[in-house]
Amino acid sequence: MNKFLPLLASILIFNFSEVVGQCVKKTDAFSNEKVSSFEWKARGIKTLYFESSQGKSIFQFRAAEMAAIEYTIPKGSEVLIKLENGEIINLFTNAETKSAVSSMTITDSDNITFSTYFLTMDVTPDQLKKLSTSKITDMRIPDLHGGSRSYDSKELRNKFQRFVMEGAKCILEG
């Protein structure tokens, strides 16, 4: 069963049937500054988010692991993204991230317990341009055991890859 946990976690993270991605451009009511954001919600759950305001852009996504794990991923943790064109983007989390434990009932006798967490990184215009023009083929992120977890193209799924590209384009078009 343990060898199937990473696959089940990637399904929970990256492959939901009902998806909505939305690019929003508005003006902040107090500063009159233009703010751009992109949010992908899978089944109503925030999964991926980009935002650009005050000359800074962030990229945030939800990850999960099977089991009840309470852990804080430290600020400055590395996130590696490999693109279809062979380039590697190296990002670092800009805040501590605490996991949240949840469970899902499958049948009356079966429950799945998992821990979710959001990774938030600052991204440069150059990194956004790369993310907007080339699909992600591999990604390595911090996990809830103090190490890292890798995902390949099959585990990331087309929806996650597509919405990263759309989100980066939305922010660049600001």
Q: What is the DSSP string of 68-136?
A: ----EEPTT-EEEEEETTS-EEEEEBSS-EE-EEEEEESSSS-EEEEEEEEEEEEE-HHHHHHHHHS-E
pLDDT tens, 55-77?
Answer: 899 999 999 988 899 999 999 99
Mean of the pLDDT values across residues 106-124?
Answer: 90
**Per-residue model confidence (pLDDT) at position 18:** 46
Per-residue pLDDT tens digits for 117-132: 999 999 999 999 999 9
Q: Which amino acid is at 155?
A: E
